[in-house]
Structure formats: structure tokens, C-alpha cells
Structure 1
Amino acid sequence: MFKKLLGKKLNKNEIEYNSKSLLDAEVPSHIAIIMDGNGRWAKKRSMPRIAGHHEGMKTVRKITRYACDLGVEILTLYAFSTENWKRPKAEVEFLMGLPEQFLNSFLPELMERNIRVQMIGDFASLPGHTQRALQHAMNTTKHNTGLILNFAMNYGSRAEIVLAMQNIMQEVAAGRLAIEEVSEEHITSHLMTAHLPEPDLLIRTSGEVRLSNFMLWQLAYTEFLFTDTLWPDFDEQCLLEAVQQYQQRNRRYGGLKGEEQK
């Protein structure tokens, strides 16, 4: 798990200076984040869990801006899993209202920053007001060409893979595809992320070290970073340090690089 690399809290000018230095090395094109710790953040302050979710929404806004400034092309945020329906009804209802609250207030800035909103997950099973908020944001920003802000909403990776396999089996049954033609590329093309490159960097906040049914196929060669920082406390410096750590990695994809090949 990564800690504070720089050893102190940076001021705005120091963050801007270090941000510019990142451009001298490769910035991850696609960053995926499991946003965890909203409830614990609230509990530490003797506040209701929904207060943590509200604060976490502010962090989404802040990190989206900073990722855009860094030149990240895709930011995928695990907003609500298929398992999260098991939470208390009042909490689920609050979470289902956040997209409307967040997107309506943030939409003008998303347009100004040329950010495009997308979503992966079971859209049809979301409440109507949640669907309308997401659809409005996606329709309004669909021609934007900058950062893709991709929400994993009502998303579960196992269900995604099952659906992909069912669709492939239908192709085989219809005679449009032979079994021996099924390949990794073919499976990838049937996933909800078929239009996106796989994540370069996965970040999970709050000290938990697991994937929680998130992009199990897509993360095969992704670099992982786990931090004890709770999501509402995750700020520009945290993202800056995560990217710095990523830039120190040697991504081999199962092979060898540089001197190791000799």
C-alpha cells in the first residue's frame, strides 16, 4: 500500500509544479478507482453514512478536474456495485439520488472542460430518476472529445462476463461463430468496456486490498495501488503521488524489457 511519497502536505503551487513534471513521463491513459471509505469517514466524525457519500461526491468532482488537467484520457469510477443493493434502503435511495445531484450541478463545467460522461453497468435496473440524470449527462456531453468520465454504476464484473458469454453462445448457436473462433479479443469485444482501452492504473482507497468484483477481465495487466486514505480525503496530492508511483513501475505484460532481454 502506498503512503505519502512526499512526506508533507503540498501547497497549490507545489502541486502545480509537480503536475507539470509528470508530463515528462508517461501519464496513465486510463485510471480506474474503487472509491471506498465514505462510511468510515463519516463514522470517524460521528456523522451519518450519507454525509460521507455527500463528501465523496465532492471528491469525485475534485479528482475529475485534476485528472483532466494531468491529461488522463479515461477516468473510470466504481460508483455503485450490484452488491450495494444489499445496503440499508435509505442509504441506497440516497446513493441513487447522487447522480442527479452531482451531474446537474457539474454539467456546465463538464461541458466547459470538454469532458464526456459514459457509464458501464446494468442501466435498465436503475431507478427512473437515476436513469434520466445519467442519460441527460451522456446525451449532453456525447460530442465532447476530452476526458471520458466513466461511471461503473450498478456494475458487477462477473455478471458482465456472464452476459458476454451468453451473447457469444447465441452467436455460436446461430451459426455465426465457430467455437474455435472464440478468442480473448472476441470476449473483450462483448464486454461493456469494449469501446475503451484497459486501465493502466487501478487505485483503491480506504485500506481494503481486494477488487470487489470490479473489472476482473480488464485488470489482467493493470498496475495496482492501494492507499489507507479514505475516499473523501483523497485529494490532488494523493492522485499526483499515485501517478508518480505508476511512472516508476516497469510494465512487462508477462515479458521482459530493456536489459532483461539481453
Structure 2
Amino acid sequence: MLVLLPPSETKALGGSGAPLDLDLLSYPELNPVRGKLVDALVDLAGDVPVSLAALGLSERQAGEVERNAELRRSPTLPALARYTGVLYDALGLGDFTKVEKARAFARLAVVSALFGVVRGGDPIPAYRLSGGSVLPAVGPLGAVWRPVLEPVLAGADGFVVDLRSSPYTSLARIPGAAVVRVVTEDAKGRRNAVSHFNKAHKGRLARALVTSRAEPADLKGLIKVAAKAGLRIDATGPAAADLIVLSS
């Protein structure tokens, strides 16, 4: 099973790992594009105003540009420790046992604008680049990633659970992946997509899939594991499901 998570805009700073080495990342066939984007982001950081505009940042966020400038020299952390925010808080990597952490590194992957896709334990530095960004030297990231990322993800072994958000689903289509949507359901059974708490519920589902010794091989298995964790998932198609949250 491979569970695909979105990245986060916020990143943990620092780290104890050696500086970025693309050869240490999973999916080495993505390294030519990774190298191209890292170079473009570092070069862009030489012009702070242009960087802020391209990355959609304010002047108060100039520190993000400084981090991009240090991409090749700054320390690294495992991807699941680097990304922060609501989804990763709900995942709770810091609470995992040694066995659960190893399982998280094996089962979870993050689809990102800079690295395409990395496994949970891959060592990456802090950076700032969103899926919807357009780098002046590169252009829209979807056009850059789709030709190389789609074959990699389409070739993933086993059951793929897609928890990505829309800016990252646009980087690659994955035929056959189980796409999970977070919805509310009222007393009349009407469902609506959740926006505000979407990430937290996806984080809880990812946690359930890591803490379970059982490894789902299909949508039926996913629903069973989720139910044991107190999460209700209904299949809505052969490769689609709703994670249901009761509305107040």
C-alpha cells in the first residue's frame, strides 16, 4: 500500500541530516527534474522581490526566500518530520513507536512541487514552493511534472490511496488510485465537501493506516481499517470513497 499525502506550506526548520543529496531520495528517475527545480529555486532566491511575487509571499515572509537560497546547503529531516501543520499534527509522527515510524516511512509518501514524490523517511531540507507556483525559468509546475511523475505513480506497486489536495492532484493523474474525499453528512443524509477540517481528517486516516498492522490491499480493506479506528468511510465508486464526518 502507498498512501499519498499533500505537503504543507509550513515546514519544520533545521534538522540533523546532511545537506540535500538527490541520490538519497526515493524514485531516482525524478532526479533530473528535481535538480532543475532546485537550481531554479536557488537562482530565483537571488532576487528577493521577484521571488516573493513568484511564490505568492509577502515582504514579511522574506525568510522563506532565504531558506530557498540555502536549499543545497541546509540540513535535512525525514519528509514526514519536515512537513508541519494540521494534517501532520493529526498524523502524530512523534507519538509513533519505532515499528510504527518504520511503517509510516514505508507506507506514506508526500507529493510535492519541488521533489515530485518522496517517501516518508526521505531526507529533505526546508523550502518554499507551492503546487500552483510558476517559476520564471521553468513555467507552470504541472507541465513540468506530469510527463515524468505520472508514469512513476502509475507504476506504484499495490494499493494506492490518494489523499492529495487539488494543487497536487494537478501534478499527476493516477489511474486506479482510491481517492478519498472528506464530507459532512446531515440528518437527512445530504453530503457536502469539508474544507476547513479536511486536512485534520486526512491526517487521522493516514495515522490509522500506519498504526494498523493490517495493510489494506483494496478499498474494502481500507474501509475496514478505518472503521477499527473509529472512522466511517463509504465507497462511492470502484476507486472513490467518502470519509464521513457528522455535521452539527
> What's the TM-score once normalised by structure 2's chain length?
0.32
> Would you tell me which structure has more strand in proportion to its own residues?
2
Choose between structure 1 and 2: higher helix proportion. Answer: 1
Question: TM-score, length-normalised on structure 1?
Answer: 0.31
Q: Which has the higher contact order (CA 8 A, sep 6+)?
A: 1
Q: Which has the larger radius of gyration?
A: 1
